[in-house]
A and B are shown apart, each in its own frame.
Chain A
């Protein structure tokens, strides 16, 4: 297990010495099973820092949100932010660096390795518990997971409750960290990358179409998937009504004629359009932290869309996002030898 005390000590030290303005980490919440994200600004607060299989959130999102917040903040403390990052989260940070969204000296990465484990998937827990909400999980000595819920407890094999992304994770440790906690374990006892999407891609076109129709029908467009994604950082998004600027001289006709790419109605076709736009904008950028799928209240398996495009990026361009901050991003680069002449 990753030594939590070491992370706490490091976080405390960073805050005490004034090297960072805050440390983004995890602590126990009151809402339920999962640890909650925490902005720690004083050395004392670091005592509450935790790291366990319930620390699912990708905190890289807050680097983006803080940047937006700082833009408006009257007082601006420009010291870097410390951030606890798992492998997948650290790759998200690397993508933000590749895209020049943040600078490397704006963050101090406290990288944590997932060693042989990973993060729990609350959906899998819900399924196993038939909707009862888990209140606590613990790895037992056998490597199984003991789950408590209202009115009882049960033990499940870790494989059955770890997130799919973790089962498929190829690099369960950060590549770019200022401090690394835990071992870099290369060999993991689970399956290869793209297991789930490969199985899905095997099904017939009709089946896939029916599958997505059914799911897009259910999307309520709460945009939790977009809001939680560190790569969805645009100031304006095609789905928002504010992307049309109304000024004093805007006429009624202009208002009526404005292009609305996607209507507000959460109907299947509008929802499908939203998800296609989002998926395409993540091609070669998504690092599979799995957050969009986790936060969806109606359980739309968004990871299948994103890993599909990740696989395309790999197969067509031998590109994996988030490995190297110096590497140009897929979307902004081309090869002289590209077979399509429209590229040149």
Chain B
């Protein structure tokens, strides 16, 4: 199902959706784009570059209370808040790389065993994508990892900016539902509109992006180079912060801790938070031994998880080419360069 929305009607569509739940969209705050809760639909302009934090937080927030506990001496422990209730949410302006990230996160959290917290959020959130008519960042490389600036994967709706109006394509039931909720605002798409969309898509694919010269060889190259000294060379300037990982739309590791608020009775919450393979304590054993002792081993883990292990298990890269880890790395460590270096086996 596809339709046309005049740009000046976007605010009214958002207002309509706000009657049913919260609406989020990218906003330029200070000096960067971030997803914020929309107060006034009319203020939303979808002309953003990549948001600093990806859309993954809507389905996998940095902190999730799994339940609260209360244990009184000699009594049965009481658990409360074990069920998650999530408000319906609509997120506008999701870039296709973040949409493709959702497909990967679904693999992790819902295949085989379904994670009820992730699933509850996933069911309640509607992702409305915006195709990139031109790459929003110089570090975009979605095409190199099998994506496209107009990919529909993982999105409920895909919008394409056509000078003065949007082509709006509903892709799932949730997507059709949010379009139908304001059907009076949309006009039928004509053959000419569709033609314009495919022209925009062709043009988008022609824009130069960062490229990985032989992606099909990278898997073998990473295997071959597991013990290579290149990792230490490439990671020599890595400062071991967690920026690359926390900002990645597909990084999904977490830690679980009890946050105790009183000792007797023992009360508190069991909390899940994002974790980060670039931190030394991620793999630290209680003996003090650390199997990933240095930044080289940790960088190798990050890159191999994205471009080797996930490909072996799920037949797709776990990187969607959003470029955030490159743009925000304080010292310029660059996954695209690393993939190329590994394939070529030399650096400098």
Contact = CB atoms under 8 A, between A and B. Distances in A.
B294 interface: yes
A297 B328 contact: yes
B237 A133 contact: no
A265 B259 contact: yes
B88 to A, nearest CB: 24
B304 interface: no
Contacts of A343: none
Interface residues of A, number: 55
Contact of B294 (A45, A69, A222, A242): A69
Contact of B240 (A45, A227, A267): A227
Interface in B265-288: 271, 273-274, 276, 279-281, 284, 286, 288
Contact of B33 (A131, A224, A226, A266): A131
Interface in A255-282: 256-257, 263-267
Given A45-B348, A224-B239, A267 B52 contact: no
Interface in A34-72: 34, 36-39, 45, 57, 61-62, 65, 69, 72
Nearest to B275: A264
Interface in B88-123: none
A132 interface: yes
A227 B326 contact: no
A62 B236 CA distance: 9
A245 B241 CA distance: 22
B184 interface: no
Interface string B316-348: 000000000011111111101100000000001
B8 to A, nearest CB: 21
A120 B328 CA distance: 16
B31 A132 contact: no
A224 B241 contact: yes
A30 B136 CA distance: 17
Interface in A218-235: 220, 222-224, 226-228
A223 B293 contact: no
A256 B260 contact: yes
A126 interface: yes
Contacts of B49: 131-133
Nearest to B260: A256
A32 B28 contact: no
Contacts of B326: 31-32
Contact of B32 (A61, A131, A150): A131
A298 B34 CA distance: 9
Interface of B: 28, 30-34, 48-49, 52-53, 62-63, 134-139, 236-237, 239-243, 245-247, 255, 257-260, 263, 271, 273-274, 276, 279-281, 284, 286, 288, 293-294, 326-334, 336-337, 348
Query: 5 closest Cβ contacts across the A-B interface?
Result: A224-B241, A36-B332, A227-B241, A29-B332, A31-B332
25 contacts: A30-B337, A31-B334, A32-B139, A32-B327, A36-B331, A45-B348, A61-B239, A124-B31, A126-B31, A127-B30, A133-B49, A150-B135, A150-B136, A220-B53, A222-B243, A222-B245, A223-B279, A227-B239, A227-B241, A241-B281, A256-B258, A266-B273, A295-B241, A298-B34, A299-B31
Given A151-B134, A297-B246, 8 more contacts: A39-B237, A131-B33, A133-B49, A135-B138, A222-B245, A256-B258, A265-B259, A291-B330
